[in-house]
Structure 1
Amino acid sequence: MRKHYDIIVVGAGSAALLFLNFLKEHFDVAVFEEQSGIGMKRHCTGIVSHRVLNIIGKAARKSVVNKFKRLCIMTETGAKVEIIPSNPVYVLDRIRYLKELFYNVRDKFEFYFDHRVMSIGTLKPCIRLDNGKIVYGNIIVNAEGAIHRIRRQMFKNDRKKAGVYGIQMDCVGKTQHVDEFTVVFSDNYAKGFFGWVVPLDEKHVRIGIGGENISLNTLNSFISFLCAKGIVHVEEKGKPFGGIVLKTPPRWRDHYERVVMIGDAALHVKPLTGGGLYVHALFGRKLANIINAKFEDVEYLFSKYEEETLKLRLRLKIQGLLSQVFHELTLKEKEDVLKSIGENVEIKYVDYDYHEKLLKNVILERPRSILNILNTVLSTKNIKNLVYGLKVFLQ
């Protein structure tokens, strides 16, 4: 380990590895990861669009577990809408995916596992490790994940609550359609509750939940509900795993001095679902390409990075507004929204990544429904949620 590197990366998760896969290997790079290896903790469902396979290539394609043609969005009372994406959606083996990304770069850059970064210095870019060592770099890339320990050190006025906790488990069991996954909303289990049912193959299914103050008991109750409704048949439950599901869009700017944040550390997610793998790829590729072209001028490259990700940030912030309003609706209001769209109907040619386009689809295909939706969401309480969402939008 040297005292100085061109680039220091904090964390070796999805965002960091994607960034490194696009970075030219002539840079001196040190990656510090507090876990003992790659993919030690499972926490992601791993659902991605066709775009991830196109951008990442072999690492993503070799990790595909199942392919979906349909998505069912429903409430526990049975109101539902069938979504047919314009392109297939996939679920990845997240651990294999990370390892494949790692195999591509392990011989190009220096990796230090079991090394926890305690803090980051910004005036003279450096990191302080848990063993007391200080390492300097021209650029520091913070990819610490959703824990936001270092992020909060840098942005002391940052939003305190960026997401909710999620728990899931892989079960021996099956669903009615192996090429369809399901999202369920309910008010009975927890505030802001949503659950998912993702077939992995003909004999295995991933079932998960997200919401405030959820627990393993909550997940077990949800599984019992699914079985009683015939949505899934479970023969044997697996070990639970989980993590933070982020629902907040990124800031307009996520760099400070010579430190830049990427991935969950930068809130690079689709706020309506919390999915991050596609967004990680977009931001990571853009940052790497700009560094590849103009590393010697840090001020310029960060300004260029901010400029060239502006459109993407805008789209994610629009999704953030939709997320803030929709997730705070009561179950009855969610049912009214689905019924306004058309109960038990199909919406075709939906873009899985850019959720704001779904609203456009609804307006074009069912223009009368938009008035009913607006009447539902524009209550006094929901306007307050919209105002909060606008505050987040402006940050």
Structure 2
Amino acid sequence: MRQAHIDAFSGASGDMLLGAVVDAGARLAAIEDMLGGLALEGWGLTAEPVQRAQLAATRVRVSAADDGSVVRTWANVRQLLIEAALPEPVRARALGAFLRLAEAEARVHRMAVERVHFHEVGALDAIVDVVGVCAGLHLLGIERVSCSTVAMGTGMTRGQHGLLPVPAPAVLELLRGAPTMATDTPAELCTPTGAALLAEFTDVWGPQPPMVVGRVGYGAGERDLQRPNVLRMVLGESIAGSPTALLLTTTVDDLPGELVPPVLDALRSAGAGDAWAQSVIMKKGRPGVEIACIADPSRSAALREVLFRQTTTLGVRGQLVDKWILERSWLEVDVAGQPVRLKIGRLDGEVVNVAPEFDDCAAVAAATGLPLKEIYARARASWPGEDDTG
């Protein structure tokens, strides 16, 4: 499994995360291409090597014609993302991050979510940061994210609402349940945008899990501080074995069929590795549907909440199960002039499965007008064989 571990020893911000994914190998041009699906003008991205306390890192800057005077509501941002031409996983993650921001601001100001007005986090550069990070992690093929304890600064910071304590109230709301630590650095180390992205993507909080390290990326913050103002992202493959997974199931006989797919989508967005449904016969011979998902045990509470809130169930069953997975890697091939990723599965070093990434194939089909099944077949046929996959 392709995974990323985020080391937030100097906090996190949108630009630090974006710099880290670029430094770890996501092509800036590919991220810009995805961002082009947003109905926004007047922005640009540049990346440059910098030093922060003797650590080399990549600093990604967003240039934006928007000076921050445009105030967007959660509804504005949501509609912008819904209408954008983005890969579905990128759209879902960006919507998730901004919804978390809206809910955090609503709690801080004690108002309804729909009344929340984004200020700094709704500015053009913040939108580009958030969607850019979602695009970068998608391009890197990341399937699982872990994150260390998040460092926090101290003092005060100035926003549209005036002076605010550091950490900002929204940051603490966003990181409820996550490990954080105070430092004596008089600066805002973790921003609301950074906290929202960490909360959205992180599957497990804590030390780096067992993994074979591949690439390491360093994303630089704007300022030079006494501590290295960078965020480190370690990419690699999880170590093969039989990790424990959580299987959650529930059965219902009164949920309309058209509501089942949104429930499955919500489970995946909440951290399920997969979710599915199947027809069952319940008590008194009633036809019903069983909804199930499998995930890391740390996602239990979030997934149970989805099932309770979005279905008609009164109870959820859970059990720990062994999960065996193939060693996985990715290879990018060219199909009709467009990039498509192949997921390669190995058993004891031998390639036993090669599968084109569906979202990539769908995007190429939409761009070229060719049938999806043809794109899929071409991508599979483009696999060069064992000698060229590493």
Please report the TM-score for the alignment, with normalisation by the length of structure 2: 0.27
